[in-house]
């Protein structure tokens, strides 16, 4: 369903009226397309404190495709990267203010602000306080900027080289609906990439719940990036599933992911018996308040949304179907972070996915060199949310820093970043795709 309010605020009368009434003023977001694959404008590289990765970071930023600037010769700044890894005490925070205060108003609409920090140290409470302060700073700035500008924090455990895929993502139109997030990049060497435009060439991906909505968008995006995609969904959705598979040049696997033989059938269906990317997107809702929820509604949601993720991931890892260097990306939800009225079953299952990621990620990498991450969507414009009552739907759209709902493509682009061969250093993360929703913020 079209967001008519977003369209209205883009007109002269809409802008005038919403300003006078103090209503939200969402900006049309610049999302990735073949015609507009990059942001328009210069990239400003700023520093605070005494950073140690300056030359390495500059080389990475130069490869993003944005011209490095600062003198206005490329127009308004498309993006600003502030290296605050050298901020080690409260006094150093003044340099954060001094660096961004003069330029924040000059960032173009749909621009990007990325602050680089380091993990807070348990051995140095002054450094820990200063670096934790960056999180509050970024989340607040993301709520101030408006005009479709996003603000995120990247914590570097090691050098900047491992963060290249993350910086390319956050400094591109692909991250249009990701804001107010904190991503830790571990001290791990990135995988080799022959072609940044088609990084998944020669790789096989499986996407569950791929018949429509977010799952279909994920399958399409992974195929765009070069992957051979196996699209999985329940037999009842076979017609839509076949259409998705044909559209992207993939294959269809009609299968109930909760079936005991699911992992065996997946292993038999993937080309050459090997899988490089496993995307757990299948999910259902059976909403009712706990006092009115029968046991079967609880069990169905947990079985599809959580148990199937646990069981198939374990089996595909143990059996070697998921190749070394592979990627697991699971779909959580902001409901699993903030909770939701009438969704104790759904919120429990999605919080369980986050717990799975946190626990499995270090072991899966140590034993199989497989990374495990999650995306947590907020309000995404799908057929399911189109059926939500009007006032609840409008609240979901407006209660975030971008004052609008996201699109399935936003979740898909984030999943593709996590599936990227150069995203080895991104592991154990849950990234919200919610426009910095006020829920759970």
Active site residues per annotation: 346
Cα(324)–Cα(320) distance, integer angstroms: 8
Cα(349)–Cα(283) distance, integer angstroms: 10
Cα(66)–Cα(43) distance, integer angstroms: 6
Instruction: Give the phi and the psi of residue 303 in degrees, each rounded to 5.
Output: -65, -45
Name the pairing type of β-strands 107-117 and 182-185. Answer: unpaired
Q: How far is CA 25 from CA 176, 276, 390, in A?
A: 16, 42, 19
Q: How far is CA 344 from CA 147, 288, 289, 300, 352, in A?
A: 35, 8, 7, 13, 12
User: What residues form DSSP beta bridges with 376?
Assistant: 432
Q: How far is CA 377 from CA 167, 261, 384, 410, 413, in A?
A: 20, 29, 13, 9, 12
User: What residues form DSSP beta bridges with 329?
Assistant: 279, 373
């Amino acid at each position: 369903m079209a967001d008519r309010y977003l369209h209205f605020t883009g007109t002269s009368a809409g802008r005038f009226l919403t300003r006078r009434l103090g209503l939200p003023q969402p900006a049309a977001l610049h999302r990735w397309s073949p015609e507009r694959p990059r942001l328009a404008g210069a990239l400003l590289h700023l520093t605070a404190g005494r950073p140690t990765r300056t030359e390495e970071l500059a080389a990475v930023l130069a490869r993003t495709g944005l011209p490095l600037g600062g003198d206005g010769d490329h127009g308004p700044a498309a993006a600003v990267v502030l290296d605050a890894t050298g901020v080690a005490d409260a006094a150093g925070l003044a340099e954060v203010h001094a660096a961004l205060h003069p330029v924040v108003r000059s960032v173009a609409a749909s621009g990007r602000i990325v602050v680089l920090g380091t993990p807070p140290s348990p051995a140095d409470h002054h450094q820990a306080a200063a670096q934790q302060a960056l999180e509050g700073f970024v989340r607040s700035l993301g709520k101030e900027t408006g005009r479709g500008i996003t603000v995120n924090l990247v914590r570097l455990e090691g050098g900047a080289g491992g963060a290249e895929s993350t910086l390319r993502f956050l400094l591109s139109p692909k991250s249009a609906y990701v804001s107010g997030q904190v991503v830790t990049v571990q001290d791990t060497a990135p995988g080799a990439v022959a072609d940044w435009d088609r990084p998944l060439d020669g790789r096989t991906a499986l996407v569950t719940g791929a018949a429509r909505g977010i799952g279909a968008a994920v399958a399409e995006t992974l195929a765009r990036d070069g992957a051979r995609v196996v699209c999985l969904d329940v037999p009842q959705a076979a017609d839509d599933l076949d259409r998705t598979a044909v559209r992207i040049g993939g294959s269809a696997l009609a299968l109930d992911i909760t079936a005991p033989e699911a992992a065996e059938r997946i292993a038999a269906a993937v080309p050459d018996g090997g899988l490089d990317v496993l995307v757990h997107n299948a999910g259902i809702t059976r909403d009712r308040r706990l006092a009115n929820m029968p046991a079967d509604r609880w069990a169905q949601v947990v079985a599809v949304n959580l148990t199937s993720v646990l069981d198939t991931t374990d089996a595909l890892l143990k059996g070697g179907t998921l190749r070394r260097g592979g990627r697991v990306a699971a779909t959580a939800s902001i409901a699993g972070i903030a909770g939701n009225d009438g969704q104790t079953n759904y919120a429990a299952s999605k919080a369980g996915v986050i717990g799975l990621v946190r626990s499995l990620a270090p072991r899966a990498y140590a034993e199989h060199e497989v990374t495990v991450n999650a995306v947590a969507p907020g309000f995404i414009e799908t057929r399911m949310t189109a059926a939500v009552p009007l006032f609840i739907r409008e609240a979901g759209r407006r209660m975030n820093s971008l004052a609008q709902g996201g699109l399935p493509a936003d979740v898909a682009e984030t999943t593709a970043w996590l599936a990227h061969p150069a995203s080895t250093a991104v592991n154990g993360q849950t990234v919200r795709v919610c426009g910095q929703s006020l829920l759970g913020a």
